[in-house]
Chain A
Amino acid sequence: VTVVAANEAQKSSIDAALVRRAARGDIAAFDALVASRLDRCYRLAWAILENDADAADATQEAFVAAWRQLPRLRDPAAFDGWLNRIVANAARMSRRHRIRLREVRVRPAATPVDDLATTALAAGDREQRELEAVAERDAIGRAFDRLRPEERAILALHHVDERPVAEIARALGIPVGTAKWRLHAARRALQRSIEAEA
């Protein structure tokens, strides 16, 4: 535990130094920050937008905005929450714009669970468990798609990127208590959606 804590402290210290350098205009330092956070931010944008191109554009817009505003960030330790919030806002703005354009995303039809179950009959027990797991993940994925963007974003931040609730709260611009409640509500909504899929 001590080693893990020490590593975390060292990583935070390095990140803070990178943030300070980037704030002074060091593009290499900014590149290091981008590299370690790009996938996570992209997933957050994607969770809200459900579209590769829009998510990429929103992520790019957010990182460039962060670069522009970095000198104004007072606390380097708050960088991740601050960045997530910029990403979430950029994705929300993009989504609003897309809604105005009335673009509708069509998800490819998933493999019916019944088909998977039928196939499972012909397989052995191990393969059957794997197929059930695949079916469950697929159901969860489709249930996830049916959630509202805010619910998807908070679930992605918490379950996929494993961000602490306090950072999620900063990212979404809400109090920690509200973030906890929204996370709980999103999980309930996901459960209901999974039941509907079943």
Chain B
Amino acid sequence: MSRPMPSDATLKAALAASLPPIAPPDLRERILDQARTTTQQHRLSGLVAPLGDPRVSERRQALLLIAILLLVAALVATATAGALLEQRRQRLPIGPPGDPTALANSVGEAYARVPAMALAVNWTSHSTGIHVAGLTHHWADGTGRFRLELNDRDETIYITTGSHIWIRYRLDGPETWADNRGPYADHGGVGDLMLDFRRECGPGWSFGGTDLILGRPAFRLVCGAQAFWIDSESLLVLRLENGTPDPSHPGSLVGEVVALHFGPQSPDLFELPAGAAVDPRPPKAGAATPSVEGPSALP
């Protein structure tokens, strides 16, 4: 037979008798002594505030919430990165961009209508123990005028305007501007801008894949020992690799666009400077219109 539950009063008396009635006499002083030497922690703000809560469950909840938020942020970041990569991947062709020869023709046509832009090309040449590196700067105003600066010994400058190909050179003494004369005569207006690219290819063009140059998708067109990376949007040449097929004369040339900016350029870049000394001799016979695919002088 079960006994009846004791009354609340009996329970209180019995339980109180089972528990110590008062704390040890020195406990209060111990607490205060330690409190006096303990620095209070002030409230955290925002989402991390519950982390300072002395209650374990509150801290756990806060940690869980923060972990969930971090997880969500990570998922969003991953999804965003994935979307960007997918977007980039979709910009890259899965296979060859049609006929490589047709692409080569399109590149040549693209240089006939170069937009206003500025770019820099880094050149590296290796040849039988000789290593040459240099930088060329190019400008186009979008109307068929170009400027090219070589960082060669003479700081040669080309300004191509309409039927003139102005060349500033100092090989024979003072700074002189000549119209299609001197050692750099017959230099094409956009020759260097094309990074030695020519439409014709004896062995025939082939497609070598797609790479990123300056973060831009570029089709790799291969012609024998030469390879050109063609910007998929502007069809400008962004990189050249020119190997020497003759093993007895090993060497290579690499030119790569290292800076590219589309947009209006200063008109002064495409004019002779005021007071420029001009070579009075007439231009070289036959040289008038800059050739889109004229011979290119390497830096």
Give chain A's interface residues, CB within 8 Å of chain B.
23, 25, 27, 30-31, 34-35, 38-39, 41-43, 46-47, 52, 55-56, 59-60, 63-72, 74, 82, 85-86, 89, 136-137, 140-141, 144-145, 155-156, 159-160, 162, 173, 187, 190-191, 194-195, 198
- Chain A residues with CB below 8 A from B18, complex form: 140-141, 144-145
The 8 Å CB contact of B2, one of A56, A69, A160, A191, is A191
The 8 Å CB contact of B54, one of A35, A52, A69, A194, is A69
For residue B56, CB closer than 8 A to chain A, the reply is yes
A64 to B5: give the CA distance in the assembly, Å: 39
CB proximity of A114 to chain B, nearest CB, Å: 17
The 8 Å CB contact of A59, one of B3, B23, B44, is B23
Is A39 touching B55 in the complex (CB atoms < 8 A)? no
Task: Give chain A's interface secondary structure class.
Answer: helix
- Chain A residues with CB below 8 A from B5, complex form: 187, 191
- Chain A residues with CB below 8 A from B8, complex form: 159
**In the complex where A25-B40, A137-B17 touch, is A64 in contact with B55 (Cβ < 8 A)?**
no
Interfacial residues of chain B within 160-198, with CB under 8 A of chain A in the complex = none
For residue B86, CB closer than 8 A to chain A, the reply is no
CB proximity of B293 to chain A, nearest CB, Å: 76
Is A38 touching B52 in the complex (CB atoms < 8 A)? no
A68 to B6: give the CA distance in the assembly, Å: 41
For residue B284, CB closer than 8 A to chain A, the reply is no
Is A39 touching B38 in the complex (CB atoms < 8 A)? no
- Chain B residues with CB below 8 A from A191, complex form: 2-3, 5
Binary CB contact string for chain B from 81 to 106 against chain A (1 if under 8 A, 0 otherwise): 00000000000000000000000000
Is B14 touching A137 in the complex (CB atoms < 8 A)? yes
Count residues of chain B with CB under 8 A from any CB of chain A.
Answer: 42
The 8 Å CB contact of A71, one of B19, B27, B43, is B43
The 8 Å CB contact of A65, one of B22, B36, B49, B54, is B54
A-B contact pairs, 19 of them (CB 8 A): A27-B35, A34-B28, A34-B31, A38-B23, A38-B27, A46-B20, A47-B19, A52-B20, A60-B31, A68-B40, A71-B42, A72-B43, A72-B52, A89-B56, A140-B15, A141-B14, A145-B18, A159-B8, A191-B5
For residue B41, CB closer than 8 A to chain A, the reply is yes
For residue B11, CB closer than 8 A to chain A, the reply is yes
The 8 Å CB contact of A56, one of B24, B36, B38, B42, is B24
- Residue ID in chain B nearest A86 by CB atoms: B54
The 8 Å CB contact of A144, one of B14, B21, B34, B43, is B14
**In the complex where A56-B23, A145-B18 touch, is A67 in contact with B3 (Cβ < 8 A)?**
no
For residue B32, CB closer than 8 A to chain A, the reply is yes
CB proximity of A143 to chain B, nearest CB, Å: 9
A106 to B99: give the CA distance in the assembly, Å: 94
The 8 Å CB contact of A39, one of B17, B21, B39, is B21
Is A72 touching B41 in the complex (CB atoms < 8 A)? yes
For residue B12, CB closer than 8 A to chain A, the reply is yes
The 8 Å CB contact of A136, one of B10, B24, B44, is B10
**In the complex where A39-B22, A144-B18, A156-B19 touch, is A67 in contact with B35 (Cβ < 8 A)?**
yes
**In the complex where A69-B54, A136-B6 touch, is A160 in contact with B15 (Cβ < 8 A)?**
yes
Binary CB contact string for chain B from 261 to 272 against chain A (1 if under 8 A, 0 otherwise): 000000000000
Is B20 touching A141 in the complex (CB atoms < 8 A)? no
For residue B225, CB closer than 8 A to chain A, the reply is no
Is B2 touching A60 in the complex (CB atoms < 8 A)? no
Known: A56-B30, A86-B55, A162-B12. 7 other contacts (CB 8 A): A30-B32, A60-B30, A64-B38, A159-B11, A160-B12, A160-B15, A194-B6
For residue B128, CB closer than 8 A to chain A, the reply is no
Give the most central of A47, A55, A82, A140: most B CB within 10 Å: A140
**In the complex where A60-B30, A67-B40, A140-B11 touch, is A160 in contact with B55 (Cβ < 8 A)?**
no
